[in-house]
């Protein structure tokens, strides 16, 4: 089985990037796209995010052998339900949602009996919308597939092959494990950024203009993450509740231990931790998951 016609539902950052990546890296595959927002469809046509941008979901999925839902996690069930009577026999249904257990359940409820293989490309930016996508978003990034038990092997191989064509490295794991791993690598870091940026903006004895003026001291790196799409992130926290709360519990304990080390002047504890974290940064760079130049390669070292 090979994938030749892909329908992309939701033409924002992720959906648009899939369309552009197909055009650039897999020109043999035909794309159709649909977004419920007329303004988004207009920009999608202008930018060529799909070979055909359709005015209805029915038109977009009519001949698809793969349908990818690229909508916020909380909108997956409604978007899938709209397709229930429209999907061609044998089409694979997938998605790009940032949490996987609740999405898997939602898709199964909306589309009983269909071939559903949830996926999460671990690639993104703080931008959203139809202007934000670009063809190289998935290059050298991981795409995690979370096939439910009993998934057809041929369909799984075809979906893996599709993502590999877009430049991604593919990993398969179960949805529960995905949610735990992503809670610590993505969801908690975002929560910390939302918190620190919120805390700084609420301070009374340091002015907001000072926070912005001296942001090169570290704060500005948190503001990039904290500028991420509010709808997307609201849905991620509401849908990956138990893994996030579990990891947040551990994080809070570690933070309390650091607080104690600072209070009691335990320099060794601080130095040990900071040495371990510096080593992790070096591993991230060695794995090609970030720019290795100091300060992300910015010209103006603050």
List residues binding ligand NAP (CB under 6 A): 9-15, 35-37, 40, 70-73, 75, 78-79, 96-98, 121, 124-125, 128-129, 229, 232, 236
Q: What is the C-alpha separation between 239 and 229, in angstroms, rounded? A: 16
* Residue closer to ligand NAP (CB basis): 81 or 261: 81
Least Å distance between CB 100 and ligand NAP? 10
CB closer to ligand NAP, 82 vs 266: 82
Q: How far is the CB of 87 from ligand NAP (least distance, A)?
A: 15
Rounded CA-CA distance 138/124 in Å is 8
CB 212, min distance to ligand NAP, A = 24
Residue 238 or residue 262: which is nearer to ligand NAP going by CB? 238
Which residues, 6 or more positions from 33, have their beta carbon under 8 angstroms from its beta carbon? 7, 8, 9, 11, 15, 19, 41, 44, 49, 50, 52, 53, 54, 60
Q: How far is the CB of 125 from ligand NAP (least distance, A)?
A: 6
Pairing of strands 115-116, 119-121: unpaired
Tokens of 167: 């430049």
List, in order, residues 6 or more apart from 193 with CB less than 8 Å away: 222, 223, 224, 225, 226
Residue number with CB closer to ligand NAP (11 or 29)? 11
Q: Which is nearer to ligand NAP, 156 or 182 (CB)?
A: 182
CB of 81 to ligand NAP, least distance (A): 9
């Amino acid at each position: 089985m090979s994938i030749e016609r892909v329908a992309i539902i939701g033409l924002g950052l992720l959906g648009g990037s899939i369309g552009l990546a197909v055009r650039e890296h897999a020109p043999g595959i035909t794309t159709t796209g649909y977004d419920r927002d007329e303004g988004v469809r207009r920009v999608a046509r202008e930018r060529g995010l799909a070979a055909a941008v359709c005015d209805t979901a029915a038109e977009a999925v009519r001949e698809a052998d793969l349908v990818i839902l690229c909508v916020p996690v909380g909108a997956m069930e409604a978007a899938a339900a709209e397709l229930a009577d429209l999907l061609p026999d044998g089409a694979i249904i997938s998605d790009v949602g940032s949490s996987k257990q609740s999405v898997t359940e939602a898709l199964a409820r909306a589309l009983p009996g269909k071939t559903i293989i949830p996926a999460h490309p671990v690639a993104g930016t703080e931008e959203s919308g139809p202007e934000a996508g670009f063809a190289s978003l998935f290059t050298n990034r991981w795409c995690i597939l979370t096939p439910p038990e009993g998934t057809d092997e041929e369909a799984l191989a075809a979906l893996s092959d599709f993502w590999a064509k877009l430049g991604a490295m593919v990993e398969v794991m179960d949805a529960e494990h995905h949610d735990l791993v992503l809670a610590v690598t993505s969801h908690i870091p975002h929560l910390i950024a939302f918190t620190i940026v919120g805390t700084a903006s609420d301070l009374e004895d340091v002015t907001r203009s000072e926070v912005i003026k001296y942001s090169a001291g570290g704060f500005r790196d948190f503001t990039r993450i904290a500028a991420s799409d509010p709808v997307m992130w609201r849905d991620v926290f509401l849908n990956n509740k138990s893994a996030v709360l579990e990891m947040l519990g551990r994080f809070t304990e570690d933070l309390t231990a650091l607080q104690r080390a600072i209070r009691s002047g335990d320099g060794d504890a601080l130095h040990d931790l900071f040495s371990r974290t510096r080593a992790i940064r070096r591993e991230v760079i060695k794995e090609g998951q970030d720019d290795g130049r100091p300060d992300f390669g910015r010209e103006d070292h603050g």
